[in-house]
Chains A and B, each alone.
Chain A
Amino acid sequence: MKKIEAIIKPFKLEEVKEALVLAGIQGMTITDVKGFGRQKGHVEIYRGSELEVLFIPKIKLEIVVPDSLVEKVINAIMEKAYTGSVGDGKIFVIPVEDAVRIRTKEKGEQAI
């Protein structure tokens, strides 16, 4: 099993989610996050004075999938979150040791 964490632009969430469901994922967790990469921050203007905002809003997706789905999920995110401009985001793949469904006590891939 792998956990896929993807940081994407907020306006791409709907498209990415639909593609992931089509790819066969069973569930996902999303979080509003803030950060910066090569895009850096942006400038806001209040009564003429510029305020440099260092962290810009992004969405973090967290999905745990069986090893067989990893490539498909990565490809779906890459395709749908892509705009070509700086700040499209990143995908991280992390090994998962185990998973447990609390209601049924199922373990491993059965639980995701």
Chain B
Amino acid sequence: MKKLLSIFILIMMILAISANLIFAETETPAQPEVVQPQSKLDTGDTAWMIVATALVMLMTVPGLALFYGGLAKRKDVLNTIAMSFVTYCIVSFLWVFYGYTLTFSGDVAGIIGHLDKVFLSGVKVDSLQGTIPEVLFSIFQLTFAAITVALISGAYIERMKFSAWVLFSILWMSLVYVPVAHWVWGGGFLAKMGALDFAGGTVVHINAGIAALVGVLILGKRKNTLLVPNNLTLVAIGAALLWFGWFGFNAGSAVASNGLAAQAFINTNTATAVAALAWMFTEWAVTKKPTVLGLASGMIAGLVAITPAAGFVNIVGSVIIGAVAGFICYFSVTSMKPKIGYDDALDVFGIHGVAGILGAILTGVFADPAINEAGKGLLYGNPGQLWTQTIAVLITIVYTGIMTALIFLVIRIFMKIRVSEEEEIIGLDSSQHSERAYNL
């Protein structure tokens, strides 16, 4: 713990010194203006984006925390919730520190942004991003960064040391999320290539899914790999909060209160409902029971798969994407995982990774220019889009995979990544936090 604290303080000191230097350098010349001369604040857009941002925050704490917390074993529920909780806090700080500027301010060779907006320097109350305040845009994007890192925790639960997770959150957000988000949304090379990702299929879900898979291969299996949910009521409430919050996630990604936001909204709802039904009927046919966890899992698969496509496809596209996601993800968690043998505790790769890849690829098939002229897929005479989507997916998989492995190797230099066997059996609530979720 002392080691972790000293590493954290060291990182903060280095960043603070670099921030001071940057402030000093950038004081005299004028800040690069985000504001286009014709830009004008729209109060309707601003009001909607404040709501959308709050909705996305709701997805991490409490949505994801309850969803993951309910699925964990009784002795690990608090630690699982804490992983989402602490990640939201860490990313909230690091994003305003350097995350936002490196993602969205300027571009260095298509790879990364500039450091001119460290601590939102130069982002004034009246600075605009399109028709909304830039400071609002930055916090909207903050919530995306936070949930992406928190999503990964579902794979690592019931064995990873809390201190190792804290260090992982800092490093992964800085070295993986920020560059990939810049490539796709911040004007980086994937954006220039024409990759479509409306609300985060590549940036959020493939990114998190691959990190989950690589991480669990390095972490190793738990002593008891069975999924024994401590409270499926929490799971159902958490999943429903995710669905609700996802409207802010996807419809908010229009960054305006307009028809495109409404289209993303209805696409999100439709694909999610269809995916939940697809999972339920598949499970009903295979195991003879339609489980509540199955409904919730199908729901998440649909939400993930429609995310990259939400603002590009028409309603038929959303139905097909939802159906495919529910069906395929059922088999990815029930057949593929046991066959390959990795211990992805809460199926972050099986659901977010697989549905994210499906959604990103299918965006290249179903993107309808009548919905959004920025996207034209295979079915509308542009097979090249499918190729671009595939390349973007592959680049993200390779980069995230390698970087996640490197991050684990670096953490391993400073501390043990796993708890001891005894601590794992006792449970991480007690061993990591000296608390218990239930005292009755």
Report A's interface with B, CB cutoff 8 A: 45-49, 51
Contacts and interface: CB of A to CB of B under 8 A. Distances in A.
A47 B289 CA distance: 11
14 contacts: A45-B287, A45-B291, A46-B293, A47-B293, A47-B294, A47-B334, A47-B347, A48-B283, A48-B333, A48-B334, A48-B335, A49-B226, A49-B227, A51-B228
Given A47-B293, A47-B297, A51-B228, 6 more contacts: A45-B289, A47-B347, A48-B286, A48-B333, A48-B335, A49-B226
A51 B333 contact: no
B29 interface: no
A100 to B, nearest CB: 30
B229 A46 contact: yes
A47 B297 CA distance: 8
B229 A49 contact: no
A55 to B, nearest CB: 14
Contacts of B294: 47
Nearest to B346: A47
A2 B226 CA distance: 44
B330 interface: yes
A46 B287 CA distance: 11
Nearest to B291: A45
Q: How large is the interface on B (under 10, 10 to 19, 20 to 34, 35 or more residues)?
A: 10 to 19
B381 interface: no
A47 B338 CA distance: 12
Interface of B: 226-229, 283, 286-287, 289, 291, 293-294, 297, 330, 333-335, 338, 347
Nearest to B294: A47
A45 B333 CA distance: 13
A46 B333 contact: no
A45 B289 CA distance: 9
Main DSSP-derived SS at the A contact region: strand
Nearest to B338: A49
Contacts of A47: 227, 293-294, 297, 333-334, 347
A46 B228 contact: yes
A18 B397 CA distance: 65
Contacts of B335: 48
A109 B338 CA distance: 61
For the complex of A and B, the 8 pairs showing the least CB-CB separation, nearest first, are: A48-B334, A46-B227, A47-B333, A45-B287, A51-B226, A46-B293, A47-B227, A45-B291
Contacts of B228: 46, 51
A48 B229 contact: no
B348 to A, nearest CB: 12
A5 to B, nearest CB: 24
Contacts of A46: 226-229, 291, 293
A34 B229 CA distance: 18
A47 B334 CA distance: 6
A51 B286 CA distance: 16
A47 B332 CA distance: 10
Contacts of A48: 283, 286-287, 330, 333-335
A49 B347 CA distance: 12
B278 to A, nearest CB: 14
Contact of A49 (B286, B289, B334): B334
Nearest to A47: B333
A46 B295 CA distance: 11
Contacts of B229: 46
A46 B297 CA distance: 10
B249 to A, nearest CB: 24
A47 B283 CA distance: 9
A46 B330 CA distance: 12
A2 B1 CA distance: 60
A51 B293 CA distance: 14
A48 to B, nearest CB: 3
Contacts of A49: 226-227, 334, 338
Nearest to B282: A48
A45 B283 CA distance: 10
A21 B294 CA distance: 44
A46 B293 CA distance: 7
Contacts of A51: 226-228
